Amino acid sequence: MPHTLYVGDLPSSLSFGPCVAIDTESMGLNWDRDRLCLVQLSSGDGNAHLVQLKPGAYDAPNLKKLLRDPAVTKLFHFARADLAAMARYLGVMPEPVYCTKIASILTRTFCVRHGLKDILKELLSVDVSKEQQTSDWGAPTLTTDQMNYAASDVLYLHRLKARLDEMLAREGRTELARQIMNFLPTRAALDVAGWRDVDVFSHKPVQRPD
């Protein structure tokens, strides 16, 4: 997988166009405990740019500028988790956002599998390995397998978005999807603020142990 690795931040010269595919890798999924280790980005041109973040070194001004740019759509698969990790560690909530998982859930209603591997296989006939998903992303030196895996998580998202946009239009759900995606930063902010496992829309929003 074509990729370039940077440590600490993106170079200032890089431009990703109007829509940048982004994924992140962390030590786990508990944001209070598990630090953000890697941010992967692609403009959809077949190249991935990987930014390795060392413990406590979250300045990354060029990366944050891109995440904050209102003219650039940030494209994710399962944006909610990546948004929470970036809000917690970089102090930036990326907007505007597109999530291929939400688009898949709203269109591929005949299917219960909305993992990236599954939808890449079905919609683009692309096979990606998930073998490195749970590897040690905090290692000081990432392996070639890890970097190839990390790159593969962003390289196909633009093509996937194009297919899912067609399906959303066909099913008359483009506007519904847009509104849900616009809400994602708020949903992720709730996760970071401590409401991760609470459905604030539920009739019984507070869960107490019996």
Length of the chain: 210
Closest by Cα among 180, 160, 173 to 42? 160
> Minimum Å distance from CB 194 to Mn ion?
25
Q: In the complex with Mn ion, which residue's Cβ is closer, 76 or 168? A: 76
20, 74 Cβ separation under 8 angstroms? yes
CA atoms within 13 A on the CB side of 170: 10
Peptide bond just before 2 cis, omega within 30 deg = no
Q: Can you tell me whether residue 25 is helix, strand or coil?
A: strand
| Torsion of Cα atoms, 36 then 38 then 43 then 49, to 10° | 160
> Minimum Å distance from CB 35 to Mn ion?
15
> Minimum Å distance from CB 23 to Mn ion?
4
Q: In the complex with Mn ion, which residue's Cβ is closer, 4 or 148? A: 148
Q: In the complex with Mn ion, which residue's Cβ is closer, 153 or 191? A: 153
Phi, then psi, of 183 in degrees rounded to 5: -85, -15
Q: In the complex with Mn ion, which residue's Cβ is closer, 157 or 168? A: 157
> Minimum Å distance from CB 75 to Mn ion?
13
Q: In the complex with Mn ion, which residue's Cβ is closer, 89 or 168? A: 89
Start-to-end CA distance of the chain, whole Å, equals 50
Q: In the complex with Mn ion, which residue's Cβ is closer, 23 or 191? A: 23
Kindly give, in sequence order, each residue whose CB lies less than 8 Å from that of residue 76, ignoring residues fewer than 6 positions away. Answer: 21, 22, 23, 82, 83, 97, 98, 99, 100, 157
DSSP classification of residue 40:
E
> Minimum Å distance from CB 133 to Mn ion?
6
Write the Ramachandran bin of 172: left for phi over 0, alpha for psi from -120 to 50, otherwise beta.
left
Contacting positions for Mn ion (CB under 5 A): 23, 153
For Mn ion, the nearest residue by Cβ is: 153
> Minimum Å distance from CB 42 to Mn ion?
12
